[in-house]
Chain A
Amino acid sequence: MDALKAFLRHPSGMAGLVLILAVLALAASAPVLYPESPWEMVATPFAPPGEDGMRLGADTLGRDVAAGIAHGARVSLLIGVASALAALVIGVTVGALAGYAGGGLDAALMRMTELFQTIPAFVLAILLVATFTPSLATIVATIGAVSWPPLARLTRAEFLRLRRREFVEAAICQGERTARVVFGHVLPNAVSPILVTASLTVASAILIESALSFLGLGDPNMMSWGFMVGSARSSIRQAWWASVFPGLAILVTVLAINLFGEGLSDVLNPRIARRRG
């Protein structure tokens, strides 16, 4: 409750939250606002904003840019959250195993994590998506596969810190099963930094998806913001609106999530919270 109150007093965090809620509302109302498919060619190609009933103009095939942004919000958020969850599951599992078990397993898992960290994430993502033909599932799996190492390292560090604490040793001495020790005592105390990092992972996942779509490696059946920017890029001299507005949508959403994540970090970090309080 204290944390919630503190967050409500955190200006940039609240700004982020409001923006996120706005994007969520847009995503939720897309089928009502624009009942037709965003792929439907409804206007003259390159109709400027305001013409042909296109609030934000039309793209090269005469598709409504505003409808694309609304429907694209669903895709971007879905991919962002799903990929972050995938990264969370992999990262926390690897980090928890390494941090709690220690020894040889720790060394092996950390070397593997380092291996992933040495490969540039985006290059690896391109390689994976190109190999497994782009679709919603492969894109989510790919972004998850390149985004988990920071989460794994963070979880491991938290587990190493908590592993030797008295309450954990007490629980072990009482003969509690390992699973119960991990999920009942260690993980709940490690959750806040993990949560903060995971929320920032959502933002980076949206960016990776946009970049992949921009390069033409998105799911060709989904209208995503990155796809809109990428497909309109070459005609920017005819129709700046077709690439600028989806670009702004990406900017605003990623900024909002970052603001929210930083606010969360400030509030949940005991030292900063105390200083402020």
Chain B
Amino acid sequence: MDRRQFTGGLLAGAASLPLGAGRAGAQGRGGTLNVIIQPEPPILVTALNQQQPTLTLGGKIYESLLKYAPDLKPMPGMARSWEISPDGLTYTFRLFPGITFHDGTPMTAQDVVFSCMTLLMETHPRARNTFRRVARAEAPDPLTVIFTLKEPFAPFLGSFDCTTAPIVPKHVYEGTDFRKNPMNDKAIGSGPFKLKEWVRGSHVHLVRHEGYYRKDEPHLDEIIYRVIPDAASRTLALENGTVQLAQWSDVEFYDVARLKARPNLAVTNAGYEYFAPLQWLEMNNRVAPLNDRRFRQAVMHALDREALAKRVYFGQARVATGPVASKTKFYDPNVRKYEYSLDKAKALLDEMGLKPGANGKRVEIKFLVPPYGESYQRSAEFYRQSFARVGIDLVLEATDMAGWASRIGNWDYQMTTNLLYQLGDPALGVSRTYVTSNIVKGILFSNTQGYSNPEVDRLFDEAASALDEKKRQELYTRVQQILVEDVPVAWTLEIEYPIIYDRSLKDVVTTAIGSHETFGAVTKS
């Protein structure tokens, strides 16, 4: 029985099977796993900070109600089973018995209600997008949680992974200033590993949580996350076996092929299905000439995205076709295609009246380079060369992290690159970029480019509350067609981040959130 069938079987049986029971004993216990963490996270409490390193590390400490198979189907997490009422309004979760926090207190339904409805609502934008739709959350007994929604929200079940809805202990946080709680340093969760020691600038040491509710887990004794700031040293550490695991952008794209060839290492692109990071050229739809749809279409034609994938990402990216990533639900490839064609791009620009001047330049556009490392800088240089061929003069502006965030958030830019998680469902990860109601000044990763189309708003709204999958597909197909015609942003690539691990490890990537997963099942031989 492969994993897919196994998951399917679980779902059919209302998912009441205790996971992993059949596999105990067959695999070895013990061992130390060394992992790269880069950059060092500011805090380990995933409920308070959702930067990638925080999620990677905190995922071992904080668990949630569900996990997701690579095809995004929900699987039991701390919830052993769940039921949805026929009207799609009431979700009842039944928890595993005997779950404890790292300080020894039992984890109950009260903690779930407090985490979702009080703490996360204040501190976690992605979680808020889901839980603001909840009218009432109740804990009738310690092992049952009931959410009643205001109106149906189809992807509700898609928000219970350990990065979106980490469960924190109510007795530690209730009535305190969450962000300033001194217990944040202790990072008390209910995951398979607990914090032993954090030496800033060096490493974070996690050890087995003895009271973990899955009796045969965790298999590993300890996990040590090592901070290695230099890219070349990170690659070396993997090669010589000092660390056994790296994820996301830990390794430069051009180093991946070399690591793949090492006999001790395995490389996979699985484990990013939930996030399906989609990259685009963001264009401020408020300023001329970017406010003209023809200009944005010309940009799509002027970009040789295959070459971008090859030269900058060394093949670890796929050309994106539209606003929904190909691994995300309701993806539809049947939309207008923008092939690489300088003639089509020039024709569109001519039609707009943007004629080339004496020096061959039609217009000057300022491009704010995101300060997130090598591949963003190289991409910006790639864009500049590409657009020069059709007479668009891209002037690169360098900036720091705070400067980039503040200028994009406050709409003070012309063009930049952005990369967003898709979060498994268009209602969670896609609509936020395009709906009018999410044009919010000062908030990053909202509809910062200022695109507004009432028809798109209506389709996204309807699709979020529709319960029938077919109906949703129709609505999302329509919205993808409209968006690809309008090009509010120029979708470039679906980035295929790698997970690189030592072959002595087993079951590293088993779910759609990959290296963010709790790692209770990971073994080392």
Contacts and interface: CB of A to CB of B under 8 A. Distances in A.
Given A41-B385, A235-B252, A133 B397 contact: yes
Interface residues of B, number: 27
Interface string B218-235: 000000000000011001
Interface string B355-394: 0000000000000010000100110111011001000000
Given A61-B382, A234-B232, A235-B254, A45 B398 contact: no
A39 to B, nearest CB: 5
A40 interface: yes
B396 interface: yes
A45 B311 contact: yes
Nearest to B374: A234
Interface stretch (A215-223, A248-256, A262-270): A215-223
Interface in A1-49: 37, 39-41, 45-46
Nearest to B396: A220
B27 interface: no
Given A39-B385, A46-B254, A60 B231 contact: no
Nearest to B230: A234
A113 interface: no
A143 B380 CA distance: 26
B443 interface: no
A40 B254 contact: no
A37 B389 CA distance: 11
B369 A220 contact: yes
Contacts of B374: 231, 234
A37 B232 contact: no
Q: How many A residues touch the partner, as a band? A: 20 to 34
A194 to B, nearest CB: 35
A216 B370 CA distance: 12
B314 interface: yes
Nearest to A233: B232
Contacts of A235: 252, 254
A134 interface: yes
A216 B377 CA distance: 10
B396 A221 contact: yes
A45 B312 CA distance: 9
A61 B385 CA distance: 11
Contact of B398 (A46, A220, A236): A220
Interface of B: 231-232, 235, 252, 254-255, 258, 307, 311-312, 314, 369, 374, 377-378, 380-382, 384-385, 388, 395-400
15 contacts: A39-B381, A40-B385, A41-B311, A45-B311, A133-B399, A216-B377, A217-B398, A220-B380, A221-B395, A221-B396, A231-B378, A234-B231, A234-B252, A238-B254, A238-B258
